[in-house]
Structure 1
């Protein structure tokens, strides 16, 4: 689960170049290329050299915009969350809880299909300005519940942590047999459910209690169930 975002006194631009070689790209194209590689190969596939090759230039043209791979990963993640920020720009004016739910679900959908993203979302908001703005947006809706600063901080952090943590967990790389096509995801989950059914109910009463729900469950529905529980508690706190 992501840690609490670091606070920033203002937007921090990517650090200046180490050399003054002429840049042949733009920051937007560099980040778009990085996201493409990350989506295709994960974090292990993203190197400065691989990105430069994709963009059709030398590594110096990438270093013009970022100081290294870590900054590239942070800014690539931030560029994805910029889309969440844009997609939720008009959210507001209704029930605060429903507005928070809408933003949280949009954020979840952006992360869950990108197994690499959860590790870098809101990792360093001193450079991830869109991530900081997204954290701010969620916090401003929590503020509408008229909670104390401490309650507001904890509530906002809980929502963000739940979204990122759950999306990262559900978006993990599938088992090798599923990736290779040896079995489908449905067949793999059915096999897991069958193994659970074979367990002794006296030793695993919880497993047997929820087996029918687990068998064939929808990950997004599972996420929404937990989110609604969290938000219901937040509503009760606001009414207390």
Structure 2
């Protein structure tokens, strides 16, 4: 099973979900397609197990993070760790926690996040919503940022900053009375760092959780 999942993850990393077929996996392993069915019953199970295989390493990293006196700071560290993993492997976002009967590591990651909320004065519903919001910010933003860039950026014809600059110039040319917000933020958009955008969204979420739980900012 270890060899099957390692090969499956390799195919997903190289060319995304479309590359992972039983035929391609069998060719990578140097075996027949029928032998793959000894380990997984379907392509969906293969995706779920490949996701959980990768998340095992993410879980190990999260478990190795030092604890602090501030559970919200600890949530931040866990969230950033998961975000970095999904940005590196955008296909993870599609299958994260899709089937927790198979994905034990996904469920354990969810549990680790949730345990931090047990250190806060919240109701069960507030805890559920808090972890759901954090996972939504992490997975949603990472999936968005992990989308394959345009071909001209991939092949190096156009740099990322130049590509963003095209949109910035077009936005600056818009009527400021019709698009006052776009004009207000266009300089921030032009050349922005994607991870900064994620961290800002995460901080907004965690700040709301801190207020709800009545926890003062860590010194």
Q: Does 1:41 align with 2:15?
A: yes
Q: 1:103-118 to 2 correspondence within 5 Å? A: 103-118=78-93
Equivalent-residue separation in structure 1 for 2:178 and 2:54 (angstroms): 44
Is 1:139–1:156's contact at 8 Å kept on the other side of the alignment?
Answer: yes
Between the aligned partners of 2:118 and 2:179, the Cα distance in structure 1 is 42
Does residue 180 (structure 1) correspond to residue 149 (structure 2)? The answer is no
2:132 corresponds in structure 1 to 157
Residues matched between the structures, number? 214
> How far did 1:186 drift?
2.0
More helix by share: 2
Q: Deviations over 1:56-88 (max 9, x none)?
A: 111122211111111111111111211111001
| Deviation for aligned residue 1:47 | 0.2
TM-score (norm 1): 0.86
Extract structure 1 runs of 4+ deviating beyond 2 A.
90-94, 179-182
Residue 130 of structure 1 deviates from its aligned partner by 0.2
What stretches of structure 1 of length at least 5 have no aligned partner?
Answer: 1-26
| Distance in 1, Cα, partners of 2:194 & 2:162 | 16
Counterpart among 70, 85, 88 of residue 44 in structure 2? 70
1:128-156 C-alpha deviation (Å, 9 max, x unpaired): 00000000000001111121111001101
Conserved? CA contact 1:52–1:62, under 8 Å: yes
Give me the CA root mean square deviation: 1.3
The TM-score normalised by the length of structure 2 is 0.94
Q: Comparing both chains, which one has the higher relative contact order based on Cα–Cα distances under 8 Å and sequence gaps of 6 or more? A: 1
For 1:193 and 1:75, how far apart are their aligned partners in 2?
Answer: 42
Specify the SS of the correspondent of 2:157: coil
Distance in 1, matches of 2:90 and 2:68, equals 33
Q: What 5-or-longer segments of structure 2 have no aligned partner?
A: none
Deviation by residue 1:25-75 (Cα, 9 ceiling, x = unmatched): xx1111111111111111011101101101111112221111111111111
